[in-house]
C-alpha cells in the first residue's frame, strides 16, 4: 500500500466520508492540489492519522471546518494556498503540535485569530497576497520562539512597529514587499538579531536610516 498518494490536477469536487480509510494507518503524503474542492471536513481527512504532508493548494476551498484536521496529529506541512478562504476558525490547528510549515498565500483573509497557532511549533508561515491590514501580532505570539520565516507580502499593511515584531527574535527571513507601508518605526527590527533576509520592496516608505544599525546579519 502506498505511503504517498498524488491526486493533483484532477476534477475532484468532494471527498466522501471514509474514502481514505484503507490508507488511514500508512499514508504520510497526500497531494490534492489543483482540483475543485470547496469544503474540507473531518469525515474526509480525519482518519488519516499518520499524515505528515498535506497539499490542498489550488482548489476552490471556501470552508475549512474547525474539526477537519483534529485527528491529523502528525501533520508537519500544510498547504492551503490559492483557495477562497475568507476566515479560519481559531481552533482549526489545535491538535497539530508538529506543524512547522503552513502556506495560506493567495486567499481572501483579512485577519488571523488570536489562538490559531498556540498548539503548533510553526517555523515557516506564508500569508502572502491576502487582505491583512496589519501584522497579525496576537496570532504570532504563541510561536514567537519558533518562527523563522514570515511571508506577508502583497497585503494591505500600512505600518511596522517594534511592538509588532519585537518578540519574534528567531526570525531569519521577513517579506513585507508589496504592501502599503508608509510608517516604519526606527526600532521595528531592533529585536531581530537573527534576521538575514528582509524585503520591503514596492512600498511607499520614506527611508529610515537608523533602521538597519543593529541588523549586522542582513543582506
> What pLDDT score does 73 carry?
95
Q: pLDDT tens digit string along 176-198?
A: 999 999 888 777 777 778 899 99
pLDDT band at 210 (very low <50, low <70, confident <90, very high): low
- Whether 8 shows a pLDDT value over 70: the answer reads yes
Identify whether the C-beta of residue 30 lies closer than 8 Å to the C-beta of residue 52. Answer: no
Whether 53 has a pLDDT exceeding 90, the answer reads yes
Strands (DSSP E) contained in 3-76 are 4-6, 29-31, 39-40, 53-55, 63-64
Using a pLDDT cut of 90, give the percent of the chain over it.
79
Q: Distance between CA 70 and CA 86 in Å, rounded? A: 20
d(CA 164, CA 150): 13
- 191-200 as b/e: b if 16+ CB within 10 A: ebeebeebeb
User: What gap in Å lies between CA 136 and CA 185, rounded to an integer?
Assistant: 17
Lowest mean per-residue pLDDT among 52-61, 159-168, 175-184: 159-168
The DSSP bridge partners found for residue 30 are: 5, 54
Average pLDDT across the chain, whole number: 92
* Range scoring the smallest mean pLDDT among 88-97, 139-148, 173-182, 192-201: 192-201
- Give pLDDT, residue 168: 84
Q: Which residues contact 139 (CB under 8 A, 6 or more apart)?
A: 112, 113, 114, 115, 116, 117
173-175 and 197-199 strand pairing: parallel
Position 219 scores a pLDDT of 55
| 197, three cell numbers | 533576509
pLDDT at 2 (0 to 100): 79
CB 36 within 8 A of CB 60: yes
Q: What is the pLDDT of residue 217?
A: 59
Amino acid at each position: 500500500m502506498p505511503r504517498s498518494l498524488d491526486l493533483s490536477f484532477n476534477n475532484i469536487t468532494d471527498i466522501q466520508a471514509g474514502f481514505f480509510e484503507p490508507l488511514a494507518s500508512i499514508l504520510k503524503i497526500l497531494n490534492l492540489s489543483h482540483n475543485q474542492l470547496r469544503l474540507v471536513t473531518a469525515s474526509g481527512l480525519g482518519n488519516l492519522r499518520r499524515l505528515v504532508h498535506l497539499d490542498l493548494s489550488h482548489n476552490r476551498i471556501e470552508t475549512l471546518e474547525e474539526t477537519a484536521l483534529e485527528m491529523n496529529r502528525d501533520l508537519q506541512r500544510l498547504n492551503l494556498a490559492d483557495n477562497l478562504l475568507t476566515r479560519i476558525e481559531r481552533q482549526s490547528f489545535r491538535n497539530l503540535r508538529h506543524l512547522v510549515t503552513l502556506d495560506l498565500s493567495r486567499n481572501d483573509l483579512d485577519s488571523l485569530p488570536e489562538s490559531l497557532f498556540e498548539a503548533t511549533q510553526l517555523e515557516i508561515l506564508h500569508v502572502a497576497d491576502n487582505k491583512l491590514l496589519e501584522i497579525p501580532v496576537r496570532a504570532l505570539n504563541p510561536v514567537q520562539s519558533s518562527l523563522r520565516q514570515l511571508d506577508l507580502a502583497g497585503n494591505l499593511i500600512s505600518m511596522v512597529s517594534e511592538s509588532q515584531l519585537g518578540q519574534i527574535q528567531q526570525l531569519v527571513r521577513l517579506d513585507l514587499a508589496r504592501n502599503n507601508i508608509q510608517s516604519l518605526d526606527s526600532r521595528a527590527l531592533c529585536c531581530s538579531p537573527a534576521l538575514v533576509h528582509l524585503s520591503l520592496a514596492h512600498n511607499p516608505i520614506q527611508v529610515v536610516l537608523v533602521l538597519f544599525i543593529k541588523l549586522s546579519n542582513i543582506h
